[in-house]
Amino acid sequence: MGPLNAALAIRNLNDQITAFREVVTSMREGLQKLPPDERQRVEEASTVLRKVRAVDGRTVLPLSVVTRTEAAR
């Protein structure tokens, strides 16, 4: 991977991080606008989902793995 490709990859990852941060901020703001009882139900549902996913082994991020041969195409 040449310097230009590396710079593009880093830029892409930084842009993705920024986009995820914006989504998190938006979701947190939306949660704060909910009535307390509804916010509590969302928190409880989130806790249940985290537990189920942990037991199911689905705690990884949804990332794609690209091998060097695929990247060269």
For every one of its 73 residues, what pLDDT tens digit does the chain have, with 9 covering 90 and above? 677 888 999 999 999 999 999 999 999 999 999 999 999 999 999 999 888 888 776 555 566 666 666 555 5
pLDDT at position 53 is 80
Residue 30 CB coordination number (10 Å): 11
Identify the pLDDT of residue 24.
94
* Domain assignment of residue 64, given as a range: 3-71
Domain count, the chain: 1
Angle at 12 between CA 9 and CA 16, to 5 degrees: 140
